[in-house]
Structures are given as structure tokens and as C-alpha cells.
Structure 1
Amino acid sequence: MAEEGQKPKVDLNWDDEHVLPAVLSPDTEFVFRRMTEETLRAAAVRDSLRVLDVGCGRALDAAALSRGGGCLFGCDPSRIMLRKAREGLRKSGEKVELVGGLAEGLPFAGRTFHRVVCKEAIDHFASPDRALAEMCRVASPEGKVILSVANFESLSCFLA
């Protein structure tokens, strides 16, 4: 976190290359798989819905959501992750509009999206409160904001 009075620094070249091990433990894999399934289910994307994936990273979730027929946008501050997302989307053929930007200041007009999805990211933002306010700002009045965060503490208690 930043010192009081200083703006938090955002790594515009953040790379996920060395974040996760090559092979996940079965417990970790289970948590990530279920979180993704439930997030995609909650978004319930269908034709004509405009959807924003905040902190999209490689845009894997945005690509999966686009299969529901909506108009998908992904937003991430990292140039490296946006490049990786573009490469992946080019290979998959999924259509997702990628935009560089911070969750705390989303570069979209208010009330633009029917669904705003943020999976595995809000706990990494410099100002989660501001990011949530921004997600609510760009969501349409009848829209949904879907947040997902892995809770490994509850899993460890459950598995103990």
C-alpha cells in the first residue's frame, strides 16, 4: 500500500507468468474451477447484453462469457496482460473488445453495461471501495455487478 498522502502505484506491466505454479494442487484447482463456473452462471450472458470484465487479465472469462452471445468488453491496466489477452482471443476467435484502464476509474460512460464481472481481482486493487463504486456507476439500472474472490481460509477449514 502507498504511504499516507501518496497515490498507490499500479504496475502497468504486470505479468502473471510466475504467479501460479505450473501444476495446481487439487484443492486449488477445485476452488478456481468452481469459482469460474459460479461466476459465469451468475452473469447469465445472453444475446444483446453488454458485459464488462474488470481486471480481465488474459480475458479467459470474457471469452467464455462471449459464447453466451453478449457484447463483451475486458478492461485491465497491464499492457502485458492485454497483449496476452489479444493473442489468446486471436487464437480462439472469440470477440472481446479490450481496453486499458484502472478499475478505480473505468473508461466507460455510466449505465453502459448489463453485467459487470470482476473475478479474482478486487482484492488486488489499490482502492477496492473506489473500484466497486466505478463498477456500480457503469452498470445499467437493471444490471448486475458480479464479484468473485477465492476464499482459501474457508476451504481449509472445510477440508480440515
Structure 2
Amino acid sequence: MIPFNHLGWIFKHFGPLIYPHTVRRSLCRFLKPVSNKASVLDLGSGTGIMSELAYACRDDLHFTAVDPAEGMLKFSAEYIKIHKGNAEALPFDASSFEAILIGEALHHFLDVDKSIREMVRVLKNEGRLFIYDFDSSTFMGNALCRVEKILGEPGNFFAPEVLKERLESHGFSVHISQFGYRYTVSAQLL
């Protein structure tokens, strides 16, 4: 397993560098229709990079971060409420969030379908979901998947169309944007 609990400082200072400007712009577009002062969940947040990128677009939103590694969470910005937890059993009431952000974390979830059910549970009606991850159908995405599995991680990487179908089966409408070996998902509960 990757020792995330001991890598917070590295992720805090170097993690944002791997988020291309195209992905950052995609995140800002995703957030435009979100209500003022809405609650947003950064799931598998690590140090809260997705919340920080989202805050740069919308500083009126209320950010909550969930990650199993306290060593990552302690590096989150002061405006982010932090919770130790995992995606398969979120510590929140139903309909708590208007949007969920997942940045390079879905492939670490142990049970992706159970995690998606939890996302559906905590999202409000017509809630929105943004995912940024690596495309396992590309050479680079496949290589990253193999390396993570060697390191003992679940390596739940998806080709965009496969993830699209999985999310649609849970009641989302889904739009995929491809960025080389990376992609974003912009989804909304129907």
C-alpha cells in the first residue's frame, strides 16, 4: 500500500502541479450552476487539492473533505471541514451535498459500486458529480494502473465509457471530456 498517511506534505506542495489548466477550467465550468453557498464534498480528498482548485473558482461554497489518511487531511486549507472516513461509508446524512468532487481518487476506492451508492445517498436531488482520473484504455493510464497494483493499491481505473455506463446505471446523466491520458466526468443525478 502507498503510505498516504505520511505523504501529506509532498501532496500539498506538489500535487496541484499534476492538474492541467484544461482540467481546472473544466472544474470551474462544472461549478457555475451550483447554488451560492452550497455544500460541496471533496471525496478521497487527500490534502484537499480539488477543494482548493474549486475555491479558486467559487469562494462562496462550503467545502467538506473526506479521506482515510489523517496525515493527508491535516494539510487541508483552513476553510475546509475535514472528516476521516472512506467512500464506502460516508459519515453524512442523506441529501447533504449539492456537489461531489473526486480528483485522482476513484481508483483508490475499495468498492466502487458501494461508493457510488453512497454518493447518490448524500447528494441532493439533481446533485452534481465531478471526477478527474486517468484513462486505463491509454498506454499511460494502463501503466499507472499497473504500478498502483504493484504497490498494493486497488487500481480501480476505468476507461471513460466504462465509468460512464457504471454511473448511468446509478441514475446519473454523464458527460466525459478527454484530456490525453486523463479525463473528467461531469455528471448529474436525474
The two structures have a TM-score, normalised by structure 2, of: 0.59
Q: 1:133 to 1:14 in 2, by over 3 A?
A: farther
Where has structure 1 moved over 6 Å in runs of 4 or more?
Answer: 9-12
CA contact under 8 A between 1:119 and 1:148: conserved in structure 2?
Answer: yes
In terms of fraction of residues, the more strand-rich structure is 2
Residue 13 (str. 1) matches residue 2 (str. 2): no
Aligned to 1:50: 39
> Any idea what the Cα deviations from partners look like across 1:67-117, whole Å, max 9, x if unmatched?
4111111111101101122xxx14xxxx11111110111110011101111
Which residue identity is paired with 1:34? Answer: T
Q: 1:98 to 1:140 in 2, by over 3 A?
A: same
Distance 1:59 1:124 in 2: 16
Q: Give the CA RMSD over aligned residues.
A: 2.9
Distance 1:48 1:74 in 2: 16
Residue 120 (str. 1) matches residue 104 (str. 2): yes
- Give 1:150 deviation, angstroms: 2.2
Aligned to 1:62: 51
Query: Alignment length, in residue pairs?
Result: 133
Give structure 2 stretches of 5+ with no counterpart: 140-179, 182-190
Higher relative contact order (CA 8 A, sep 6+): 1
Residue 130 (str. 1) matches residue 130 (str. 2): no
Give structure 1 stretches of 5+ with no counterpart: 1-8, 23-27
Query: After the TM superposition, which of the residue ranges 61-70 and 121-130 deviates more from structure 2?
Result: 61-70
User: Of 100, 103, 123, which residue of structure 1 is paired with 2:84?
Assistant: 100
SS at match of 1:142: strand
Identity %: 23
Q: 1:13 to 1:151 in 2, by over 3 A?
A: same
Return the index of the structure with the highest Cα Rg.
Answer: 1
- Give 1:12 deviation, angstroms: 7.4
CA contact under 8 A between 2:88 and 2:115: conserved in structure 1?
Answer: yes
Query: After the TM superposition, which of the residue ranges 38-47 and 62-71 deviates more from structure 2?
Result: 38-47
User: Of 64, 72, 75, which residue of structure 2 is paired with 1:73?
Assistant: 64
